[in-house]
Amino acid sequence: PPPTLDANGVSRCCHVVAMPYPGRGHINPMMTLCRLLAARGVAVTFVVTEEWLGLLDSSPSPPPPPPPPPGVQLRTIPNVIPSENGRAADFSGFMDAVYTKMEDPVERLLDRLQPPATAIVADTYLPWAVAVGNRRNIPVISLFTMAASLFSILYHFDRLPFAGDRRLSVDESDKPLEQFIPGLSSLRLADFRTFSSMGTPLKRALEAFYWVRKAQCVLFTSFYELEPCVIDALRSELSCPVYPVGPSIPYMTLEEKQKKPILLNRSDKDYFDWLDSQPKNSVLYVSLGSFLSVSSSQLDEIAMGLRASETRFLWVARGDSSRMQEMSGVMGLVVPWCDQLKVLCHPSVGGFLTHCGWNSTLEGVFTGVPMLTFPIFWDQPPDSRLIVDEWKVGLSLKEKVGKDNVVGREEIAKTIKRLMEDTVESSEIRRRAAELREASHRAIEEGGSSCANINSFVRDLLVGHN
Ligand code: UDP
């Protein structure tokens, strides 16, 4: 039967409550998903902490994501997470609070909500949401905002030979993960080396992967063509539907595709004026994420390597900006924050030096900008492996790490030139990046794999509550 819609085309009987993990890299893709749901007539309530409501509402640097679209209402729970400006000073304490302090206030909010929630879409790293849904007898959909490959690793973690803190031998490090888990052809055990020393965050993540088995559906911000083998393997293994609905992009850069001018905030104007005056594909955009930093000696080597490569650059540097300001000059610009997606869309940008956070990885793929990878921890080393070895759209800056665990400036300069100069190798990378960009655009267009997945998902939701 057709779903019952009100005069505004919003479902009368299906009310989804969206619960993102409290971090920008999770809130943005959840909001993107909610826009897609709202556009298909689903009523959505988006729940954040009071702190995040402030961050979404105010416009300090970094700027807020766009306001929620019609059909999505924002509701808050009290500030139960110890953080500053949305960031954790102590990551273990932060995760502990996310796992233990949010459930009660969310329950109280759900008790008051009218019309009552008929489904919950929760970040996979909020395992208690599954219990909340089960108690209320409403389905819980788990949204994983990192690579499907990482989901598979955490789902099958007990198959990996990481006993306690035992270090992997060199032979073991190079073992393909496919020996243990199907569908992960290019990943190596070594890509998960940082996991075994993670303590609390790893324990917490594995707890989430116990609960995800009880969810009624799993959504990915990835798209099928990006990780087909692992998605096929998960589909045959999980008992619930698996829908990749990405690439999840903070807002549609279809302006870029349709060649309309991109709208700029006043604060963006300076670096865009600078980008406008640079030759096509000549600028390396450098960002090592909104969350973690590399050591100061490593930062120095990257800066010196960049200088030695004589490549133009736009560098986003936060706390370290005073030392970085010295780098601003004829060849480059250092800014505390930029609108990354718009920067990646700019024709002058020809390379992206990234820490390989999953959102940055998807944005690099979506804009077709070849990447230089500098992964730091958690999902970043496996994302780097996918970028370099599986999709072949970039080069790793971490091939040769010195004894002091620092990559030296000569190595950095050499690799930057390999990517940015016009050679047979770099043209092949550029060709692959353009191919993957087209595949990512096709996935979210009408008739594409992600668009079909989101339609199937919404049909499940509406039919289930009609
Ligand atoms: N970002 C941005 N401007 C910046 C730095 C980051 O817009 O100057 C955005 C970026 O586009 C991405 C997000 O912040 O969407 C970072 O998420 P990601 O998963 O890449 O990394 P995290 O910072 O969570 O480690």
pLDDT digits (tens, 9 = 90+) for 177-191: 888 999 998 999 888
In 269-388, DSSP assigns E strands to 283-287, 312-316, 332-335, 349-354, 371-373
∠ Cα 318 321 325 (to 5°): 145
Residue 287 CA: which ligand 1 atom is closest? 5
Of residues 336, 337, 332, the one with CA closest to residue 351: 332
Q: 308 falls in which pLDDT band (50, 70, 90)?
A: very high
Residue 258 scores a pLDDT above 50: no
Which two structure tokens, joined as six digits, stand for 22?
């409290």
- Whole-angstrom Cα distance, residue 246 to residue 42? 18
Atom 11 of ligand 1, nearest CA residue: 340
Residue 66 scores a pLDDT above 60: no
Q: 67 falls in which pLDDT band (50, 70, 90)?
A: low
Residue 55 scores a pLDDT above 60: yes
In this prediction, residues 324-341 reach a mean pLDDT of 82
- Whole-angstrom Cα distance, residue 391 to residue 24? 26
C-beta of 28 in contact with ligand 1 (< 6 A): yes
Question: Out of 34-48, 379-393, 416-430, which region has the weakest mean confidence (pLDDT)?
Answer: 34-48
Q: 262 falls in which pLDDT band (50, 70, 90)?
A: very low
Residue with tokens 């080597």: 301
The fraction of the chain above a pLDDT of 70, given in percent, is 85
C-beta of 251 in contact with ligand 1 (< 6 A): no
C-beta of 311 in contact with ligand 1 (< 6 A): no
Q: 402 falls in which pLDDT band (50, 70, 90)?
A: confident
Residue 1 scores a pLDDT above 60: no
In this prediction, residues 72-100 reach a mean pLDDT of 88
- Residue burial 290-326, b: 16+ Cβ < 10 Å; e: rest: bbeebeeebbebbbbbbbebebbbbbbbbebbeebee
Residue 44 scores a pLDDT above 50: yes
Residue 5 scores a pLDDT above 70: no
Of residues 270, 283, 282, the one with CA closest to residue 336: 270
- Whole-angstrom Cα distance, residue 41 to residue 59? 29
C-beta of 365 in contact with ligand 1 (< 6 A): no
pLDDT at 290: 61
In this prediction, residues 224-240 reach a mean pLDDT of 97
Handedness of CA 428, 229, 361, 167 (dihedral sign): negative
Of residues 152, 73, 3, the one with CA closest to residue 455: 3
Residue 166 scores a pLDDT above 80: no
pLDDT at 310: 96
Task: Give 156-161 contacts, CB < 8 A, sequence gap 24+.
Answer: 156/180, 156/181, 157/206, 157/209, 160/189, 160/192, 161/189
pLDDT digits (tens, 9 = 90+) for 276-293: 999 999 999 999 876 657
With residues binned 3-state (H G I as helix, E B as strand, rest as coil), the percentages for the chain, rounded to 5, are 45, 15, 40
Q: Specify which residues 74 forms β-bridges with.
A: 46
pLDDT at 11: 66
3-state SS, residue 380: helix
Question: Out of 22-31, 67-76, 389-398, which region has the weakest mean confidence (pLDDT)?
Answer: 67-76
Q: 403 falls in which pLDDT band (50, 70, 90)?
A: confident
3-state SS, residue 215: coil
pLDDT at 260: 45
Note whether 234 and 148 are within 8 A (CB).
Answer: yes
Residue 403: its H or E element: none
C-beta of 25 in contact with ligand 1 (< 6 A): yes
Residue 223 scores a pLDDT above 50: yes
Amino acid at 181: I
C-beta of 290 in contact with ligand 1 (< 6 A): yes
Amino acid at 348: S
In this prediction, residues 438-450 reach a mean pLDDT of 96
Cα dist from 270 to 266, 337, 338, whole Å = 8, 12, 10
In this prediction, residues 78-91 reach a mean pLDDT of 84
Residue 37 scores a pLDDT above 90: yes
Residue with tokens 């006993």: 163
In this prediction, residues 170-183 reach a mean pLDDT of 83
In this prediction, residues 93-100 reach a mean pLDDT of 93
For all residues of the chain together, what is the average pLDDT?
87
C-beta of 341 in contact with ligand 1 (< 6 A): yes
In this prediction, residues 312-325 reach a mean pLDDT of 75
Atom 13 of ligand 1, nearest CA residue: 25
Phi and psi at 118, nearest 5°, equal: -110, -10
Cα dist from 329 to 21, 161, 271, 296, 465, whole Å = 39, 49, 13, 21, 59
Higher pLDDT pick, 258 / 433: 433
